[in-house]
Structure 1
Amino acid sequence: MINIREITPAEGAVLSRMSDSVNWNNSPAECTLITRCSNMRGFFLEVDGQIAGSAGMVTYEPQSLVFINLVIVLPEFRRKGYATMMIEHILKLTGNYRTKKLHATPDGSKVYAPLGFKPCRGISFFASDDPHLPEIEGVDIRPMQEADLAEAIKRDAECFGFSRHNLLTFNYQQNPNLALTTGDAQAHIFGRRWKKYRQMTALVSSDLNAAMALAAHASELDKSQPQSIITYDTQQEFQAYLQSGGFVKVREMLDMELGENTPEPPEQYRSIYGGDMG
């Protein structure tokens, strides 16, 4: 018997272990957020009472965007159509939303294309065991303070198109030591971490030099883990800078959409959040 049910807050660690099984990087706290946040929901697909897969969604009002995430099927349950079932379940729940969006590997895109999802733009996942990004002179970088958070959230919303205050407030509470801003508080970068990587994330800067300086400083904060950063492929100059400092492209992904197309990401949106959060 196949059943799709909502994930409870007590099952955040279960979802995190599923993320580990596909080499992703979602912490138990991050997975629990998906079950507690007012605009997020997660689902398990069960086969005869055994958890076989997961999927989640983040909604942005008013009925505008659904970001589908954490689509995972455990190895022993693959090639049975379960990923499609979970996506169809979410599409049924969100039929009145104008755009449905997700990130997919090239292989994963073959699951989503028959459902109507179309590739819109390329995304690259970069990683390094020992980054050494060239220093950028003339840009003052400092730790982000709690007083800076509201402005950073506002700046992020201007890029993403919707406010992600729940997600970014959570991120800052979890990893305040990984968040940086420029001295004039006109650009910022956040950080997220779990077992596999420490990720530089949600980097917003209208100035390329400031973006590079933020990345360089962030990469030096803690070298106890491999580091990663995810960018849209429109960020050619920024990607070249990352590669000059030891980052290597390890995965290619596709931004896929169903329904109304969203605008192209603005130039100042230098790195995406990751964790399938946009």
Structure 2
Amino acid sequence: MDGIEIRASRDPQPMCDFARQAGWNQTLEECRQLVEAPEAITLYAMKGAETIGSAAAQVYGGGRMGFVNMVFVLPEMRGHGLATALLKAVMAARPDVATWRLYATEAGSKVYEKIGYRQAFTMAKYFVAPDVVRDWPREGAEAMTAEDIPAAAACDAAAFGFSRSGVVDFLYRAQPALAFKLCRGGRLAGFSLGRVGANARHVAINAASFADACALLRRSAAEEHAGRPVQVMAYETQKEFTAFLVDSGFKATVTMYVMDFGEPCSQPAANYFGAFGGEFA
């Protein structure tokens, strides 16, 4: 890797440019949130003035987990170990992190296994065309408000394992019209957040029961937004929910492997029906 330098940065534009090349769903504003968040790590590989690769991470729980994201190398620069070097540089930036976590395709998982990552569990991205869900019933859930953010963040922390209050706040304020809730006994019992990505409208769901998760998904997915397909990220352990997705017209795409390095870490809680991940995948 002669002539290549890895540098820290807070510039979201190269990250967004790489997301477009890779076909990922992140927007420029989401990339800005990723690089500017507290305890964010953002590294770019530079060859002269050209940015040729990236890797980033969000650190949660005061160092208990680092969620790696946005690992990308230009196609013409691949095959020289640059992605591995970027990942190792991210991890070296925070040697205190107990567990590193990332999402990988099957091919990518083989690369990460070589440096010590292990498969923790699996998930898949499910997509449905907007015309399939346009006429779904819009009852059963009510609009979420800004006053609900603390309760939603607490529910998310219980499911994810660590506080992501800044992420919950960001996603709500970016698309408040796509955020819904269910209440039981005057308290928040479940919520959904919708984000309009570059390619798809992503729905994330945290609910106390399978029935509540289905109600939140129906309410959120039925909202029309620029003809984009609707995306849900679901864990394979959620057998009933993934069967509901398929029966409702969603189609699973490539399986994603959730991989960990370091100490054993939390598994998805049973009420975490639709994930929004550590990097707005």
| TM-score normalised by L of structure 1 | 0.93
Structure 2 residue ranges without an equivalent (≥5):
none
| Distance in structure 2 (CA, Å) of the matches to 1:258 and 1:197 | 30
2:38 matches 1:38: yes
| Distance in structure 1 (CA, Å) of the matches to 2:13 and 2:196 | 15
Structure 2 residue aligned with 1:261? 264
| Distance in structure 2 (CA, Å) of the matches to 1:54 and 1:158 | 31
Aligned pairs for 1:225-240 within 5 A:
225-240=228-243
| Distance in structure 2 (CA, Å) of the matches to 1:157 and 1:171 | 15
CA distance 1:135–1:210, change in 2 (3 Å)? farther
Structure 2 residue aligned with 1:191? 194
| Distance in structure 1 (CA, Å) of the matches to 2:45 and 2:127 | 31
| Distance in structure 1 (CA, Å) of the matches to 2:140 and 2:258 | 33
Structure 1, 16-25 or 36-45: larger mean CA deviation: 36-45
Structure 2 residue aligned with 1:6? 8
CA distance 1:168–1:206, change in 2 (3 Å)? same
Give, in angstroms, the shift of residue 36 of structure 1. Answer: 1.4
Structure 1, 32-41 or 15-24: larger mean CA deviation: 32-41
Structure 1 residue aligned with 2:279? 276
The alignment partner of 1:221 has SS state of coil
Give, in angstroms, the shift of residue 159 of structure 1. Answer: 0.8
2:236 matches 1:220: no
Structure 1 residue ranges without an equivalent (≥5):
none
How well do the aligned residues superpose, as a CA RMSD in angstroms? Answer: 1.9
2:140 matches 1:132: no
The alignment partner of 1:228 has SS state of strand
| Distance in structure 1 (CA, Å) of the matches to 2:49 and 2:216 | 47
CA distance 1:128–1:135, change in 2 (3 Å)? closer
The alignment partner of 2:113 has SS state of helix
Aligned pairs for 1:10-21 within 5 A:
11-21=11-21
Q: Is the 8 A contact 2:123 2:233 kept in 1?
A: yes
Q: Is the 8 A contact 1:135 1:213 kept in 2?
A: no
Structure 2 residue aligned with 1:86? 86
Residues 9-67 of structure 1: CA deviation (Å, up to 9, x unaligned): xx323311210111101100010112211121211111233111111111123321111
| Distance in structure 1 (CA, Å) of the matches to 2:122 and 2:195 | 22
Residues 204-247 of structure 1: CA deviation (Å, up to 9, x unaligned): 11211000010011111125211111011101110111111110
CA distance 1:3–1:206, change in 2 (3 Å)? same
Number of residue pairs the alignment of both structures matches: 274
Structure 2 residue aligned with 1:152? 152
The alignment partner of 1:189 has SS state of strand
Structure 2 residue aligned with 1:207? 209
Q: Is the 8 A contact 1:109 1:254 kept in 2?
A: yes
| TM-score normalised by L of structure 2 | 0.92
Structure 1 residue aligned with 2:67? 67
